[in-house]
Amino acid sequence: MRKAPPVPEQKPRAKPVKSEQGIGTTAQRALKEAVAERAGENKAARKRRAAAEATRRRALARAKARAKHRGH
């Protein structure tokens, strides 16, 4: 039997970084924007890789289908 997924309060939470407490709100905002931008870039890169993989898979499937018909 599978174990139930962890209840939200059991999930490990990221500890706040102590060095961030002294920085101003503009710096915090800049940091937050930088993190968000990087996450967006990672998502875009993941999508690009997935698209390339799908294209390669389709090409292989096409080649396989052609090879099957070639022998007769």
| pLDDT reported for residue 60 | 96
- Residues above pLDDT 90, as percent of the chain: 31
Tokens encoding 69? 């018909």
* Average pLDDT rounded to a whole number, residues 34-62: 92
* Contact between residue 20 and residue 28 where contact means Cβ atoms under 8 Å apart: yes
* 37 confidence band (pLDDT: 50, 70, 90): confident
Angstrom CA distances, 8 to 4, 12, 31, 71, stand at 12, 9, 26, 58
**CA 31 – CA 51 distance, rounded (Å):** 30
* Average pLDDT rounded to a whole number, residues 19-25: 67
User: Residue 3, SS3?
Assistant: coil
